[in-house]
A and B are shown apart, each in its own frame.
Chain A
Amino acid sequence: MSPGQHIEVEDLVIRYGAVAAVGPVSFTVAAGQQLTLLGPSGCGKTTTLRAVAGLEKPSAGAIRIGGRTVYDGARGIDVPAEARGLSMVFQSYAIWPHMTVFENVAYGLRVRQKGAAEIRERVGAALDLVQMGPYADRHASQLSGGQQQRVALARACAFSPSVLLFDEPLSNLDAKLRGDMRIELRELQHRLGVTSLYVTHDLEEALAMSDKIVVMRAGQIEQSGPPSEIYNYPRTEFVADFVGSANLIQGRIRPDLTRGDAIALETPGGHLIHGSAHGRAVGDRPSFSVRTVHLKLTPQAPAHETNVWPVTVKRAIFLGDLTQVHVEWGGRELVVRQTGMQPWSEGQAASLSADPDHCILLEH
């Protein structure tokens, strides 16, 4: 596999008629890394990916792959998709039903007019890579969803592209298989050292597979950074809410009650909550985000006294791995998710606590 090339997207704008679907957005993917565009459906992530592939014509901006400009609105450059030298795995896999698995994988090599021996060798290697070697002579219609997915991957890798694009490749698989493929894809990407741009609306997928995540909303970039930063330090309410479930707590800042690094917020219900500003300036509508799994519910109050409140359990919902408990907290409801066998019943009194490092001030 050729060494990955970096991708630069600069002020990309995509318009349909008068409606701006995307942009302006800018981001870069470092060589050999994986960047994931994450967002709800309709946020413009797939459109952005397709613009990088050359399947969608942008209205303005620039796209460079490995330093080579493939699109530049101002200079009128628009290299057709077939000449961009990248590869893509489609959401529907797009396995050609009229060809065998071998012919599917060989396509990119045949287009590049490789010799028969080289094609055989490279297709064999690509199929082995996804453990589909024995299926070379099958037709696409004889493959299961997971197998088609692997063939699509082999086909995308076979001609050693320097950039791989993924358009929600796992969304058509069942949950179990999706989990396995997630790990396999990540390993493969590491082994091949290929630069990847990945699109998904699945949070876990994005967190598990990416070096960097770009969260998109309504055609704009909401936040970008490494997965842990996106998860632990959401910048806005949208990110806090979309990237895992979070409780959003508004109030007013009480500078007089600051304890060390922890700033204090007083809620309309009269509760005090200490949290981390994470170097952010306090806006005029300050609010904290607290992940549901970062709240602790215990029958007895813990020893420390910061961020400890007596609460009443309103209802508990058993989710399997987790139990989701809704508690009454200063005139509103907070959602707590925790593991453990502790049964909670309606009306039960308990103690709620939260580490101030997990209460993150949002930007506005």
Chain B
Amino acid sequence: MTALTDAPPLPMVAHRRHFPTQKVVGYAVAITAALCVLYPIYYLIQASLDVGDPNVRPPTAYGLDNYALLPNYWEVMLNTLVVAFAATAMAMVFGFLFAWILTRTNVPFRGTLEQLMAVPYYVTPLLGALAWNFLGAPESGFINQIWRALGGGGAIVDITGPVGIAWVMALFEGSVAFVMISAVMKSMDPSLEEASQILGGSRLRTMLKVTLPLVAPGVLGAALFVFAEMLGSFAAALVLGTPNRFYVITTAIYQLVSQYPPKLPLAAAMGVSLFVVMFAMLYAYRRVTRGRSYVTVTGKAFRPRPMDVGGLRWALFALCIAYVVLSVVLPIATLGYASVQRLAVALPSADNFTLEHYRTALSLNAVRQAIWNSLFLGVLTATIGVVVTGLLAWLIQRSRLAGRGMLEYIVMFPQAVPRLVFAFGMMWAWLVFPIPVYGTIWILLIAYLTVFLPLGVRAISGVLVQLDKSLEECGEVCGASWGQRLRTITMPLLKPGLFAAWLLIFVASVRELGASILLMGPDSKVLTPAIVEAFFSSSSELTAAMALIQTAFVGVAMLVFLAITRRYGRIGA
């Protein structure tokens, strides 16, 4: 007390006054991010309107002719819609069913199942497509081989058609639908249902009049989101459809760009159309999930009283396990099985087994270079990405800068653009850029940083909004400058979230396909497109080995991620 009262008044903190660090850094990051997002989109639209000499840039004439040509590709559009609808329907069935089982019934091992359900998302559609190609190709597929060995004729499954492609896509997107729908089901206050029962409503009436209307917007939102993702998906259709000339819009764009001579303006017009549709879907998604905020506003996770389903619980358990087997265990096992055979067959003889594909994969210079590049880019993208998206998330959530609402829209924009289409815009944009980055790994770095903006910002924002705002404000009132506050308060409190975001971005970069396949040069190969190239130009057994090597990297990163999130599960709450 005496020390406190007798102490001389402290002078005000010496301030480098009137140098608004926050404003300068904030606007610099915001403008850079906005440029990275909007500059390629501008060139994409410009290219789609180019009706002049295809070899001259900037375009000599503008018009809508490229769009007028689109109806010629009605078959591609139809394929896209069929695949997207079928895949969305299947993914929603998976998602709704498992969300209901895991939030509403007394299925055994619920906690473990819930974690397992998220795993398919981290097994890429590419890996799934490669594996299911081994399993379900009409001639060489293991399932069909066994079918014929058992005396059947022809093929009982064909994974290379629209339904097959949709199946592979749905297996992986199903876990996204699950996460979204179960979030809605969990956040519903069970007392809303209980109130109906207390007032005499039957189980069915409660379900129809209370549960469904409350859950419906969330489910519809999930369906729109999944459908938009399906429209823009690329890997499964590329691996399964392209060999037998079954094209969806993304693979058609890729074909138009990579064929000789390329039809770039037409591809651009297709890309713009696709992105307009996806944008509309995602806008609708936001409207649906925002307008009906009464569903989930409390932000508290409820655990509704589970329904006792009796002996059926083991059947439901088996159903959940079956999904994980089909989407994770079976694909990885299949690739493992195929990668150690000289020529992959369902029932091989003993001398067919070999490790030569792994030897080849790890000794080929091109592959080694691709692995090295992917890891290098992954580390670099994640490191820079965390800094940039962390700043952006802070600016959007916490700053009082003008225009931060707009910033959120711009940063989330890449979400609405398929990465392939975005990369196409980038390719076009950076070709004319005075600094020669095109064809180097630096353009890949820029592309990754841009397309993963939404991923990083969303991950970090999610943690940031849980931090009580007054923790930072208190530092402000105590006299700490913006930089000091970020360093001593915000960053230490966000550490687990920042680390999780780092790993998410790392994993996403290492498995990136759509943007990389267009932007990598001969000296800047990266792993995922190299796997696709191997699939089309060398043996599928080697491809399997490469895909498994990649999965190992991602798997290790994921295990670290899980360990960290579990350890720091609830800090700073």
Contacts and interface: CB of A to CB of B under 8 A. Distances in A.
Contacts, number: 112
Interface in B165-191: none
B569 interface: no
A162 B5 CA distance: 11
Interface in A279-316: none
Interface in A99-158: 107-109, 111-112, 114, 121-122, 124-126, 128-129, 155, 157-158
Nearest to B480: A111
A87 B4 contact: no
A107 B480 CA distance: 9
B470 A90 contact: yes
B572 A98 contact: yes
A252 to B, nearest CB: 48
Contacts of B474: 88, 90, 94, 96, 155
B473 interface: yes
B471 A107 contact: no
Interface string B370-384: 000000000000000
A110 to B, nearest CB: 8
Contact of A97 (B5, B12, B479, B493): B493
Contact of B17 (A83, A90, A122, A157): A83
A70 B8 CA distance: 22
A124 B3 contact: yes
A45 interface: no
Contacts of B475: 82, 107
B473 A81 contact: yes
A160 B13 CA distance: 13
A155 B13 CA distance: 16
Contacts of A2: 8-10
A53 interface: yes
A149 to B, nearest CB: 13
A129 B4 contact: yes
Contacts of B351: none
Nearest to A53: B477
Nearest to B478: A108
A85 interface: yes
A103 B481 CA distance: 17
Given A82-B15, A98-B492, A159-B478, A192 B4 contact: yes
A192 B8 CA distance: 13
B477 A97 contact: no
A155 B478 contact: yes
B115 interface: no
Given A81-B476, A108-B478, A155-B478, A122 B470 contact: no
Interface string B463-475: 0000010110111
A125 B479 CA distance: 20
A148 to B, nearest CB: 12
Contacts of B259: none
Nearest to B9: A2
A257 interface: no
A90 B12 contact: no
Interface string A56-89: 0100000000000000000000001111111110
A157 B1 CA distance: 11
B480 A126 contact: no
Contact of B473 (A90, A122, A155): A90
B476 A159 contact: no
Residue of A2, A57, A165 ringed by the most chain B CB atoms within 10 A: A2
A94 B9 contact: no
A165 B478 CA distance: 12
B325 interface: no
A176 interface: no
Contact of A82 (B1, B5, B471, B479): B479
Contact of B3 (A84, A112, A122, A162): A122
Residue of B11, B479, B489 ringed by the most chain A CB atoms within 10 A: B479
Given A1-B7, A126-B4, A97 B571 contact: yes
Given A121-B3, A192-B5, A159 B477 contact: no
A53 B474 CA distance: 10
Interface string A314-357: 00000000000000000000000000000000000000000000
B5 A1 contact: yes
B538 interface: no
B5 A96 contact: no
Interface residues of A, number: 45
Given A1-B4, A2-B9, A108 B479 contact: yes
Contact of B477 (A88, A114, A128, A158): A88
Contact of A85 (B12, B17, B473, B481): B12
Nearest to B400: A57
Given A92-B468, A129-B4, A97 B572 contact: yes
Contacts of B4: 1, 122, 125-126, 129, 157-158, 160, 192
Contact of A125 (B2, B400, B468): B2
Given A111-B484, A129-B1, A162-B9, A92 B479 contact: no
Contacts of B478: 82, 87, 107-108, 111, 155, 159
Given A1-B5, A126-B4, A162-B9, A55 B476 contact: yes
A91 interface: yes
Nearest to A162: B9
Interface in A158-172: 158-160, 162, 165
A191 B1 contact: yes
A83 B12 contact: yes
B13 A83 contact: yes
A92 B473 CA distance: 11
A80 B21 CA distance: 12
Contacts of B13: 82-83, 85, 111-112
A54 interface: yes
A54 B400 CA distance: 12
A121 B6 CA distance: 12
Contact of A92 (B8, B15, B470, B572): B470
Nearest to B491: A98
Residue of A83, A88, A91 ringed by the most chain B CB atoms within 10 A: A83
A300 B415 CA distance: 81
A92 to B, nearest CB: 5
A81 B468 contact: no
A55 B12 CA distance: 17
Residue of A108, A114, A165 ringed by the most chain B CB atoms within 10 A: A108
Contacts of A129: 1, 4
B472 to A, nearest CB: 8
Contacts of B9: 2-3, 160, 162
Contacts of A86: 477
A160 B7 contact: yes
B432 to A, nearest CB: 42
Contacts of A122: 3-4, 7
Given A108-B478, A155-B478, A159-B479, A83 B5 contact: no
B9 to A, nearest CB: 3
Interface in B194-226: none
Nearest to A118: B7
Contact of B476 (A54, A92, A125): A54
B1 A55 contact: no
Interface of B: 1-5, 7-13, 15, 17, 400, 468, 470-471, 473-481, 484, 488-489, 492-493, 571-572
23 contacts: A80-B15, A81-B473, A81-B477, A83-B13, A83-B479, A84-B477, A86-B477, A88-B477, A90-B473, A96-B471, A97-B571, A97-B572, A107-B478, A107-B488, A108-B478, A112-B11, A114-B10, A124-B3, A157-B4, A159-B10, A159-B479, A160-B10, A162-B9
